[in-house]
A and B are shown apart, each in its own frame.
Chain A
Amino acid sequence: MNKFKRHVSGLSLVLALLMVLTACGGGSKGGEEASGTQASGGESANSGDTPEIVMPFFVLNGIPEDMQAVNDEINKITKEKIGATVKLMPISYGTYGQQTNLMLTGNEQVDLMVVGTWFNYTTQVAKNQLLPLDDLLAQYGQDIVKTLGDNYISAGKVKGKTYGVATMRDLADMYGLVIPKDVLDKYQIKTEDIKTFDDVGNLLATIKKNEPDSTPLVPFGPGDSLLDNYMTYDNLGDKLGVLPGDATDLKVVDWFEQPEYADLLNKIRSWYEAGFIMKDAATNRDSGLELMKAGRGDVLLTRIKPGYAEQESRLIGKPVVTIPLTQPQARTSSVANMMWGIPRNAKYPDKAMQMLNLMFTDKDVANLLAWGIEGKHYVVKSDGVAGYPDGVDQNNSKYNLNQGWMFGNQFLTYVWEGDSPDLWKQLQAFNDSAVPSKALGFTFDQTPVKTEVAAVQNVLNQYKMALEWGTVDPAKVLPEFRKKLKDAGIDKIIAEKQKQLDEWAASK
């Protein structure tokens, strides 16, 4: 008996082994077939009745507890309007890129997802992981095109085809400084007097003179250099070859070779040496707002937009003002860093586009995604702005996603309490006032020069932060930086970029 048992268990293990082996063979074949047919659209739905759109997006503040409740509410609307349900798939942003890339690689059903240059968008396009959306947009996405306008739609194009659709939010870049109001008042500085980079230096000098122990300028966030938050040019995606702000033609130049760059570095270095800048700026891992709150500094440079001051004032706990240092400029990068795309793995590309269109047109869907369920997560106050219901606050709200800018048309949602009630009008005006870059709509495909890009990225990592925070002397280090960039092949990247840009211009 005992012996018999042992034989049986041995046999079953062998069988299991065989099963694994055959399963593997069969599986890989299945996978290939699937990848071939998937693009043609969903044949048989999961359970037969309503198609379900799988929709991953990233979240900044953890996954809200009531995500499912909100999802159910949205399904009620979508079932009626587009004959489909959605499966919202929130993923925290630190892992979003990796998780979605794996899903795309693994051929899992993903119908509509957040894509963008933050998450290797151009590589996804180059590797054929995203579907071209032009036909779908024409058929189901008319409202999207109407809302965004051709300029901003064009930012999602790669080699003439659209792969990503931006959301209606602040789509232009404008950089400026954030400073508490009481500091301005104390030194009787008028906001109108600060217009240029040099004015910032004077401001810092004034503060430093009165508080010799302080280092007034703090970084905005981990990994941000000072010049990341003061861009006067179109970075053409990656700063490796840029279009100067005052460019009249489409000549790609090496930003790091520009006299203007050297000039800025010298200024920053003098600020650092004079003690205007937090010494640990280049290795900082904290939020600049927290640093400001803790009194480590009073000034930071960042990307600003209408309503930004109110938002930051709430976070810091005292009124701050924003002072613009650059003109708002619309660039591909400011639009393409976050868009929606439909992957090759999509089972229901048609429904996905209809859903996207719905997010651009349906006020209820937009508000559900942004603020949750009315009456439960938010209430509409008398002046038409939304706020927390009684007994609910930021800390105990079960739906505090607060990412209206991510879903379709943010301007359809309610303005939150504390913001100016006409915030969306201001933002619309901001977008409209932005000067479009000459290269708006051009997306650089790095794949032909990826060997060089990998090397150049490493050089950037080594020098950029230290130079752009003034921790090292540009007189000594800048030539070294430039030489290493050349060695790493930045010229080849720029030449490739110029070639692609010329082709793009010719095809326009």
Chain B
Amino acid sequence: MGTTLWQRTWRNVARNKAMYVMVIPGLLYLLVNNYLPMLGLVIAFKDVDFAKGIWHSDWIGFKNFEYLFKTSDAWLITRNTLGYNAVFIVVNFAFSIAIAIFLNEITSKFFSRFYQSVLLLPYLISMIIVSYLVFALLSQDTGMMNHTILPLFGIKEISWYNEPVYWPFILVIVNLWKNAGFLCVVFLAAIIGIDKEYYEAATLDGASKWKQIRLITIPLISPVIVMMLLLFIGRIFYADFGLFFQVPMESGPIMNATNVIDTYVYRGLMQIGDIGMSAAAGCYQSIVGFVLVLLSNYVVRKINKDQALF
């Protein structure tokens, strides 16, 4: 029945000409900017020799991937990467949704704008600078924690950069602090987009504010939440390099708590600078993310077909 499919497609094109034209620039761009370079993933399977050129270099199968698995740290970095990102998603989503909802409740225009601007501040500062700010707090010699805050409670000074137990918390907090503003803007836009009539009707029915939030706001922004969730799951095997590399200041004793796949790859390849091996890491990360997203999209589709991405 090939012809009917063609006919159907053609009819759809004829009826929605404008929409077909509209997507062209975007798709063209993705083709050039994203899909064309993807051909380069072959580098991950090659022993690149520039005398032969990239395309004609020898195939070496999965040899470039070996270093990711051969180390005794393979389990550790996998666990850290997935574990931290999972916690980040839960904590960041919970907080930024709460912030967005509260922001929406603020009636004073001045305060609403003030909070919004201020919340975005951390998102604007580069991770290297953030690492200095964290250092300002935690430095053993001169940090504020050890100098002013801990003595107030009569606690002895702590060697923050040498004690791995604190770092899961520090990293989660820094990540939240840095990214909550960004996520919150997304959710706020979704909340603002909700038709005010729903709330008016609910108020007339005597529904309390809490009830309105629970029964109107959350359900109506849930498509955005689910979509964002899927996007973040797709990147779950990519760690925020800046956060994990800069903020711990490369301190060795805490590395079991701060080493993730991206930092591992960076440190490992610093000297060798092998493009095949770094391409292999990217490839591995993408595939894990891809599998996880397919799974979660499948689950979402089972629950609510409309909210699935594809």
The docked-state distance in angstroms from the alpha carbon of A36 to that of B56 is 11
The docked-state distance in angstroms from the alpha carbon of A123 to that of B276 is 12
Q: A31-B53, A455-B67, A471-B162 are in contact. Are A123 and B272 (CB under 8 A)?
A: yes
Interface 0/1 of B46-62, CB less than 8 Å to A: 00111111111000000
- Contact across chains for A20 and B271 when beta carbons are under 8 A apart: no
- Contact across chains for B66 and A16 when beta carbons are under 8 A apart: no
A270 CB-CB contact with B under 8 Å: no
A450 CB-CB contact with B under 8 Å: yes
For the complex formed, measure the closest distance between the CB of A128 and the CB atoms of chain B, giving whole angstroms: 4
- Contact across chains for A457 and B270 when beta carbons are under 8 A apart: yes
> Smallest CB-CB separation from A487: which chain B residue?
B72
- Contact across chains for A457 and B271 when beta carbons are under 8 A apart: yes
Interface window among A73-81, A250-258, A277-285, A417-425? A277-285
Which residues of B, 227-261, contact A by the 8 Å Cβ criterion? 249-253, 255-256, 259
The docked-state distance in angstroms from the alpha carbon of A487 to that of B72 is 7
> Smallest CB-CB separation from A484: which chain B residue?
B72
- Contact across chains for A466 and B28 when beta carbons are under 8 A apart: no
The docked-state distance in angstroms from the alpha carbon of A480 to that of B14 is 70
- Contact across chains for A458 and B259 when beta carbons are under 8 A apart: yes
Q: Tell me which of A10, A279, A282, A454 has the highest count of chain B C-beta atoms within 10 A of its own C-beta.
A: A454
B10 CB-CB contact with A under 8 Å: no
Chain B residues within 8 Å of A101, by CB:
273
B78 CB-CB contact with A under 8 Å: no
Interface 0/1 of B61-75, CB less than 8 Å to A: 001001100111100
Which residues of A, 258-312, contact B by the 8 Å Cβ criterion? 278-280, 282-283, 285
A138 CB-CB contact with B under 8 Å: no
> Smallest CB-CB separation from B249: which chain A residue?
A283
A462 CB-CB contact with B under 8 Å: yes
The docked-state distance in angstroms from the alpha carbon of A464 to that of B255 is 12
A6 CB-CB contact with B under 8 Å: yes
A127 CB-CB contact with B under 8 Å: yes
Which residues of A, 1-49, contact B by the 8 Å Cβ criterion? 6, 9-10, 13-14, 16-17, 20, 24, 28, 31-32, 35-36
- Contact across chains for B252 and A13 when beta carbons are under 8 A apart: no
A451 CB-CB contact with B under 8 Å: yes
B198 CB-CB contact with A under 8 Å: no
The docked-state distance in angstroms from the alpha carbon of A344 to that of B54 is 14
B42 CB-CB contact with A under 8 Å: no
A68 CB-CB contact with B under 8 Å: no
Q: A24-B36, A451-B66 are in contact. Are A120 and B21 (CB under 8 A)?
A: no
Partner of A280, one of B132, B141, B256: B141
The docked-state distance in angstroms from the alpha carbon of A282 to that of B253 is 10
Q: How large is the interface on A (under 10, 10 to 19, 20 to 34, 35 or more residues)?
A: 35 or more
B24 CB-CB contact with A under 8 Å: yes
- Contact across chains for A35 and B253 when beta carbons are under 8 A apart: no
Q: A13-B21, A128-B51, A278-B141 are in contact. Are A454 and B252 (CB under 8 A)?
A: no
The docked-state distance in angstroms from the alpha carbon of A28 to that of B36 is 11
Which residues of B, 6-59, contact A by the 8 Å Cβ criterion? 21, 24-25, 28, 31-32, 36, 48-56
How many contacts between A and B, using CB within 8 angstroms?
140
Q: A10-B21, A32-B53, A127-B50 are in contact. Are A458 and B73 (CB under 8 A)?
A: yes
The docked-state distance in angstroms from the alpha carbon of A223 to that of B256 is 19
- Contact across chains for B141 and A344 when beta carbons are under 8 A apart: no
Chain A residues within 8 Å of B51, by CB:
35, 128, 344
Partner of A461, one of B36, B159, B267, B277: B267
A227 CB-CB contact with B under 8 Å: no
- Contact across chains for A238 and B271 when beta carbons are under 8 A apart: yes
Interface 0/1 of A429-441, CB less than 8 Å to B: 0000000000000
- Contact across chains for A129 and B50 when beta carbons are under 8 A apart: yes
B93 CB-CB contact with A under 8 Å: no
Q: A20-B32, A128-B49, A450-B67 are in contact. Are A461 and B271 (CB under 8 A)?
A: no
For the complex formed, measure the closest distance between the CB of B105 and the CB atoms of chain A, giving whole angstroms: 42
Chain A residues within 8 Å of B253, by CB:
466, 471-472
- Contact across chains for B249 and A285 when beta carbons are under 8 A apart: yes
> Smallest CB-CB separation from B36: which chain A residue?
A24
For the complex formed, measure the closest distance between the CB of B164 and the CB atoms of chain A, giving whole angstroms: 11
B161 CB-CB contact with A under 8 Å: yes
For the complex formed, measure the closest distance between the CB of A297 and the CB atoms of chain B, giving whole angstroms: 11
- Contact across chains for B252 and A466 when beta carbons are under 8 A apart: yes
A248 CB-CB contact with B under 8 Å: no
The docked-state distance in angstroms from the alpha carbon of A484 to that of B71 is 9
The docked-state distance in angstroms from the alpha carbon of A35 to that of B56 is 11
A105 CB-CB contact with B under 8 Å: yes
Partner of A466, one of B36, B63, B132, B162: B162
- Contact across chains for B269 and A454 when beta carbons are under 8 A apart: yes
Chain B residues within 8 Å of A358, by CB:
none
Which residues of A, 232-262, contact B by the 8 Å Cβ criterion? 238
- Contact across chains for B50 and A128 when beta carbons are under 8 A apart: yes
For the complex formed, measure the closest distance between the CB of B162 and the CB atoms of chain A, giving whole angstroms: 6
The docked-state distance in angstroms from the alpha carbon of A28 to that of B140 is 55
Chain B residues within 8 Å of A20, by CB:
28, 31-32
- Contact across chains for B277 and A123 when beta carbons are under 8 A apart: no
- Contact across chains for A120 and B272 when beta carbons are under 8 A apart: yes
The docked-state distance in angstroms from the alpha carbon of A97 to that of B72 is 30
4 interchain residue pairs of minimum CB distance: A454-B268, A120-B273, A283-B249, A128-B51
Interface residues of A (CB under 8 A from B): 6, 9-10, 13-14, 16-17, 20, 24, 28, 31-32, 35-36, 97, 101, 104-105, 120, 123, 127-129, 215, 223, 238, 278-280, 282-283, 285, 344, 446-447, 450-455, 457-458, 461-467, 471-472, 484, 487-489
Extra inter-chain contacts (4) besides given A283-B161, A489-B70, CB under 8 Å: A6-B21, A127-B48, A127-B49, A487-B71
Q: List 6 A-B contacts (CB under 8 A).
A: A97-B273, A278-B141, A280-B142, A454-B277, A457-B268, A466-B162
